[in-house]
Structure 1
Amino acid sequence: MPAYRLRFKLSLSTETYLAYYKGKANSIQVRSLDNKKIRFPANAIRNFLTHDGVHGLFEIQFDECNKLVEIEKISL
């Protein structure tokens, strides 16, 4: 069971995501809707990549040790 969940908006172009994919950076840092800093592995959003990039409202879940459990896309 997740210890906590945070929601965040993300808008990455295909080119920007490909830079992550090619290893130029291995983590993504964003701010949650309630202004908390979130950092997670870039490959955690690979399933959401389209020809337009990665865009939408997401919910990220962490366990009690702050380990990533899951990221879900909530809406565009």
Structure 2
Amino acid sequence: MRRAFFTLHISAAEMLRYYRGSAATVAVTAEDGTRLRFPAANLRRFVSAEGVHGRFEVRFDEANRLLSIERR
């Protein structure tokens, strides 16, 4: 299992774009330089009134399929 860490700051207003469907994926650059793209729906449990903020760990398998995202 592979993993990568990244920091994310998405405002509440920007998160509305994801809920409305005008944006479906999130693209970030991990701390090690790896570029990641994943469905925005994976962030729903981290949304607060301020949006989504924090440092996250993403785990994925050898085929680069997303396994989990956790706030760290």
Bin the TM-score by the shorter chain: over 0.9
TM-score (norm 1): 0.91
The runs of 5 or more residues in structure 1 that have no matched partner are none
The equivalent residue for 2:41 is: 43
The equivalent residue for 1:28 is: 26
Q: Percent identity?
A: 42
| 4+ runs deviating over 3 angstroms | none
Query: Whole-Å Cα distance in 1 between the matches of residues 53 and 38 of structure 2?
Result: 16
How many residue pairs end up in the alignment?
A: 72
How big is each residue's C-alpha offset from its partner over 1:20-59, in whole Å with a ceiling of 9 and x where there is no partner? Answer: 1111011000000111100000000100000000000000
TM-score (norm 2): 0.96
What's the C-alpha RMSD, in Å, of the aligned pairs? 0.6
Query: Whole-Å Cα distance in 2 between the matches of residues 21 and 67 of structure 1?
Result: 23
The equivalent residue for 2:8 is: 10
SS of 1:61 mapped into structure 2: strand
